[in-house]
Amino acid sequence: MIYTVTLNPSVDYIVEVEELTLGGLNRMKRDMKLPGGKGINVSRVLKQLGVDSTATGFLGGFTGGYIEQWLRQEGIAGSFVQIADDTRINIKLKAGEETEINGAGPEITDSETAALLQKLDALKPGDIVVLSGSAPPSLGGDIYARLIAGCKRKGAEFVIDTTGQALKAALSEGPLLIKPNHHELAELFDTEISTREEIITYGRKLLEGGARHVLVSMAGEGALFITEQGVYHASAPAGQVKNSVGAGDSMIAGFVGTLSLTGNALEAFRAGVASGSATAFSDDLADRAMIEQLRPLVTVSQL
């Protein structure tokens, strides 16, 4: 079973206006309300790939209820901790350029945190836990370390998709996959990266640090896949980019879902790139038809 953990989910309120007038009245051209949060995105794309998962994390208030109802309608199993505070709302304002206004997130109590950690007791060897996104400040800086310890205690694999110190600390625990983009990779090593060769150099450092697979997304230039067996490049399919939210999460879903089904890491890489591209070309997350349309267009070559 694949589990996804979203510590700070959201309702993403997407608003489009023809032209934004600050200090004046603006009328919407279109709006959408979607469940948000990196782990939730992974579960939604896994469902499109025909792979079941259980989504967990913290949900509260009317916004949390909205997310639960949406996932239930899509046939995604949820095992969330119900919290006293409300799940946040993130605003994505599209007026030519996109402006994001993200909520800080709810206050999580010690008992609510303990309830989430207790859910890890259901894990079994062979399960995969996807740990994604930011954490509400009230959880403290060690929450990912505590979750990883719970995974390892039960013999489960884990994927981590976060940034900064939490990602660095996780490397020595042997994550199945990490997926920084090239900007996040540079930030990890406090450097500047301008060439593919530099991406490969620093990606290999992540392998040396303990990661088993490293996937580095490079937007229109495709992606690099770095393993002990070699370094591979995948081209990005051509298309009109409509959506900047969730492409990286979709890439993780494509990789993890396909790896769990086939055990083939290169096919998982291809599916990951196809899934990420399908989301970039859609208003919402990728659907199965778009993923399957793009999959044969992704060319994987060893460098």
Phi/psi at 294 (nearest 5 deg)? -85, -25
Closest CA to 178 of 190, 186, 259, 170: 170
Q: Answer yes or no: 121 catalytic.
A: no
Which three-class secondary structure state does DSSP give residue 120? helix
- The total number of residues shown for the chain amounts to 303
Instruction: Decide: 116 and 109 in contact? Cβ < 8 Å.
Output: no
Question: Which residue in 12, 127, 161, 249 is the catalytic one?
Answer: 249
97-101 and 28-36 strand pairing: unpaired
C-alpha 83/C-alpha 64 separation (Å) is 9
Q: Write the CA distances from 161 to 16, 29, 190, 273, integer angstroms.
A: 29, 34, 18, 16
Query: Could you list the active site residues?
Result: 249
